[in-house]
Chain A
């Protein structure tokens, strides 16, 4: 697999961004939120991601299964299927994620909380799929949720592994700021709508090949991401699109056109 070629690095760049997320419940669509499942809960989650940068297009379909170990601690398994336009398709790298809510402050109709996040993505896909490396992501998230307003902030850092071809992809730093509003305060058994707007920043270090920095790699991108959450009792649909607003990519790289996501989630 030639990971140094431009199309592959762009698709892998997509994957490194998508793989950073393990959102659930009333968390942002693209950013990280502090939510955890209730104790004993099982979550079944289907997500579909579409990323386009010039001629590089990727669709990722992911089945996620999560379990609430305690009211503050969730474990998650991610089983993605990857489809590169004009390229490989098949099962992608499996992901194992966990989130621990270490702080929570509740008041009438308001919940504030903070969580720590860890995800490990081993190199399980093979055959020109996945990132070809074992990567890990750590993150911290804060969230404020009220009957009307939402706000979130998160930081994530992705440590990327080294490929067998001595290519070391640059680590990635992700920053997220998001806000949301529930225009109508629905009651418990009514359909509920929350509109969101996220600002997602990604700064990626340059790749290194045999110890030398690769000029056409890494850089900074900022996205503005409108999103929507619709829920009915224990079922949720979330969708959103990331639209690039600032791009400062190094060298000659395809800039992101857009990324879109839709997710379906059941809490059982």
Chain B
């Protein structure tokens, strides 16, 4: 019987650990994205950032979707600077945990 609380505790810890491990998705609204060749700078700058696992660029909507792994917390000021260094303007951003 003593094993049941231990098993439950382990299950909860494992579940919560899996949730955190999934990371965070950042949706960036970027202005100035007109051509694919120039947008490469955004991909390059973001992919060099520690913890970033993928970068997708939607030129029509002016949206850059950045996925970061566990522990890689990106704040707005840092993303704004990265986008500026790439030659564009970060207009807004949202973040959500990855499922």
A109 contacts B59, C-beta separation under 8 Å: yes
**Chain B residue with Cβ nearest A194:** B35
- In contact, A267 and B35 (Cβ under 8 angstroms): no
The reply to whether the CB of A129 lies closer than 8 angstroms to some CB of chain B is no
**Residues A104 and B40 in contact, CB atoms below 8 Å apart:** no
What B residues does A189 contact at CB under 8 A?
36
B13 within 8 A of A: no
Residues in A with CB closer than 8 Å to B57 are: 188
Indicate if the CB atoms of B37 and A106 lie closer than 8 Å. Answer: no
Contact-size category for A: 35 or more
Asked if B33 is at the interface of the complex by the 8 Å CB criterion, the answer is: yes
Closest chain-A Cβ to B56's Cβ sits at a distance in Å of 8
Interface residues of A: mostly helix, strand, loop or mixed? Answer: loop
Residues of chain A lying within 8 A (CB to CB) of residue B34: 109-111, 145-147
Instruction: With A41-B44, A188-B57, A233-B37 as known contacts, state yes or no: A106 contacts B86, CB within 8 Å.
Output: no
**Interface status of A127 (Cβ within 8 A of chain B):** no
A138-163 contacts to B (CB < 8 Å): 145-147
B59:A234 contact, CB within 8 angstroms: no
Q: For B38, what are the chain A residues with a Cβ–Cβ distance below 8 Å?
A: 25-26, 35, 111, 145
8 Å CB contact of A38 from B31, B35, B86, B89: B86
Residue interface mask A224-259, B partner, CB < 8 A = 1: 000000010110100000000000000000000000
Cβ-Cβ contact count across A and B, 8 Å cutoff: 97
Interface centre among A25, A104, A109, A145 (most CB of B within 10 A): A109
Is there contact, CB below 8 Å, between A187 and B36? yes
A104 CB to nearest chain B CB (Å): 7
Q: Is A186 an interface residue (CB 8 A)?
A: yes
* Shortest distance between the CB of B9 and any CB in chain A (Å): 46
Least distance between B15 CB and chain A CB atoms (Å): 36
Q: B73 contacts the other chain (Cβ, under 8 Å)?
A: no
Are the CB atoms of B31 and A188 closer together than 8 Å? no
Given pairs A41-B41, A106-B88, 10 additional interface contacts (CB within 8 A): A70-B85, A107-B31, A108-B31, A109-B60, A111-B88, A145-B38, A185-B59, A187-B58, A188-B58, A234-B44
Taking Cβ atoms with an 8 Å cutoff, the residues of A that contact B are 25-26, 35-41, 70-72, 104, 106-111, 145-147, 182, 185-190, 192, 194, 231, 233-234, 236, 267
Top 9 nearest A-B pairs (CB, nearest first) are A38-B41, A106-B32, A106-B31, A39-B85, A231-B37, A111-B32, A106-B89, A188-B57, A145-B34
